[in-house]
Structure 1
């Protein structure tokens, strides 16, 4: 999902707006060249001085101090050139124009610098807020969880992104290690709000619900309550204000896993990409036998109640949970990223190093241009001797 906060986003970035913004930056210099053309033509009797004087102020609207000074220098060059060619240095008018140009230039540069400083201060504040929100929403998973070693990684599609619709968490409970990986279909604040709601519900229910299905049902109920609250943009009780397109797209794909003491892993998949199991150098996707819709689309569930599916997860196995930003990443030739092949090719290493190698391979595949945010969480099953007593005691409400 696209992230909420982009620290490298420029004014007018994106599509036609960006083109218009770029064109606006050239306007002062085009006018200066037109003024020069008038002064060098037979129509040099047209008075262009006031027009040139205003160019630094016009440039300051779309450019910083350097661009404003460049426009001032251009206007000054035209004024001096025409005064010299037309022998106008003996008149008061040229000196008035030059003085006006100086005053306007100084004022424009000062104002432009002050505005830029203020914007940078606001941007730094937004960065601090976004970083704090990310630490609460997507905190790194513990390196050790009972019989598991773990690591997580979040990659933004654009530099400086902080918060998005991807979510993950891993907690140690009396039922075993419970993990969630999800992806909100949406954008902006609604996506962040949905991610926070699902994560909050999981962090609570993981400790109290006996069954894994109960955990995911708790998350679904929390999301449903949030989506029907007034002011969220998806209140189904106010038909006039409801954007049904947003309602159709505001769902969350999630994968919930439980690793008990036995050498197995239980999975409930609600429309999410299946996890990858790496065993003895071979990677395979744990594809669910029953297809279930994402959270928020419970009306599409038919047939008997679903059950958590069990898969072998023995010591030495490695489980990778991820969002679709990994498997849908494309190279310039439009080929998808082959996650299974890459996992098999990456050299054996601890979880955090393994994720970093996957990160580098993903960046290499896309030439450094991710089009979607990426979240990955890795779980290594340790043998009994390596596992030993965990420093993280299981929570027992």
Structure 2
């Protein structure tokens, strides 16, 4: 539809420069900016109007029609329609933007009801969280995160529902609801993940519960961690980007030894992890959990965001909130100010026993 005004202008030019120039094309040319106002924005309308005026001048010169009342009437009509088309297009653009902003605010409010900032202090951890919405579109994504203090240790989750919109938000609510319940009575961390998977399978099985944007992709990546009193962190990773551990100034991914499929794709493999994997997590270390919107952020040349380098550059001196804000600024600088996908992050600092007591 967007190319129709320009095709009409081209057709008029061809008619006027051929023996068929006896056909009166004025009304067709006047329709060019009018159609552009409906299908294009103010910029496209201006370009279409300018093209129509140029073609009108070229054809008048070619047909030696300057000085006739018809030519000046065509120019006047074309100018009036162009101005009216530009004003209409500008008004339509502003109205669509207001509607888009309103829908976006409602969608983000629905997401904020489900997600909540993590507490600043959780047992042996100092923590912070950050959630960023993509800069385009009215649909929110399916990023999820939470951190809960339990009798088994500090348990955290970060995940990403494939798809966008309110259907994804509903899936986020289901996964987080299952996590928040299971973490308090399931000692086995793998079983906590299985509870989340089972809840999602039950929800997706409800007829009409989810739109095709979720059903077509049909899975959720998730990472659940547990930080007990011992200087370790235990992980269960189901297809999610590996968290980064900042130790001694170096950021290293805690990659699972056996890759596991995302939630919802269990039937595609013969075996799943039976126990969590443990890694050293001592006082002074930082653990960063994040969604793929961070590492898949691209700059104008198509380069991915180098998260490990950014983490190492910030280091361990900044407070958790400041650390995440600096990551945020680095992302904005890398992408030129606009994220293509939603982002969620949790940062957890491990401090010593004496500070823990205080």
TM-score (norm 2): 0.77
Q: Given the alignment of the two structures, is residue 312 of structure 1 paired with residue 280 of structure 2, yes or no?
A: yes
2:77 and 2:264 map into 1 onto residues whose CA distance is 63
Deviates more, 1:114-123 or 1:362-371: 362-371
Who is 1:231 aligned against? Answer: 208
Q: Given the alignment of the two structures, is residue 276 of structure 1 paired with residue 256 of structure 2, yes or no?
A: no
Structure 2 gaps, min length 5: none
Local SS of the residue matching 1:277: strand
Q: Is the 8 A contact 2:244 2:251 kept in 1?
A: yes
Q: 1:220 Cα shift?
A: 1.1
Who is 2:181 aligned against? Answer: 204
Assess, with a 3 A threshold, how the Cα gap between structure 1 residues 30 and 138 changes in structure 2: closer, same or farther.
farther
Q: 1:140 Cα shift?
A: 3.1
1:286 and 1:325 map into 2 onto residues whose CA distance is 18
2:301 and 2:83 map into 1 onto residues whose CA distance is 51
1:57 pairs, out of 34, 38, 41, with 34
Who is 2:142 aligned against? Answer: 165
Q: Given the alignment of the two structures, is residue 356 of structure 1 paired with residue 325 of structure 2, yes or no?
A: yes
Local SS of the residue matching 2:38: coil
Aligned residue pairs, count: 354
Q: Given the alignment of the two structures, is residue 193 of structure 1 paired with residue 170 of structure 2, yes or no?
A: yes
1:298 pairs, out of 254, 266, 288, with 266
1:185 and 1:66 map into 2 onto residues whose CA distance is 35
Local SS of the residue matching 1:135: helix
Local SS of the residue matching 2:223: strand
1:68 and 1:297 map into 2 onto residues whose CA distance is 48
Local SS of the residue matching 1:266: strand
Q: 1:181 Cα shift?
A: 1.0
Deviates more, 1:195-204 or 1:340-349: 340-349
Assess, with a 3 A threshold, how the Cα gap between structure 1 residues 170 and 248 changes in structure 2: closer, same or farther.
same
Q: 1:210 Cα shift?
A: 4.0
Q: 1:230 Cα shift?
A: 0.8
Q: 1:64 Cα shift?
A: 4.1
Deviates more, 1:312-321 or 1:103-112: 103-112
Who is 2:235 aligned against? Answer: 267
Assess, with a 3 A threshold, how the Cα gap between structure 1 residues 207 and 115 changes in structure 2: closer, same or farther.
same
TM-score (norm 1): 0.70
Who is 2:108 aligned against? Answer: 131
Q: 1:149 Cα shift?
A: 1.7
1:289 and 1:309 map into 2 onto residues whose CA distance is 8
Structure 1 gaps, min length 5: 1-19, 235-242, 390-397
Q: 1:378 Cα shift?
A: 0.8
Q: Is the 8 A contact 1:133 1:163 kept in 2?
A: no
Local SS of the residue matching 2:283: coil
Who is 1:88 aligned against? Answer: 68
Q: Is the 8 A contact 1:166 1:183 kept in 2?
A: yes
1:119 and 1:361 map into 2 onto residues whose CA distance is 31
Q: Which has the higher contact order (CA 8 A, sep 6+)?
A: 1
Q: Given the alignment of the two structures, is residue 253 of structure 1 paired with residue 221 of structure 2, yes or no?
A: yes
Assess, with a 3 A threshold, how the Cα gap between structure 1 residues 116 and 336 changes in structure 2: closer, same or farther.
closer
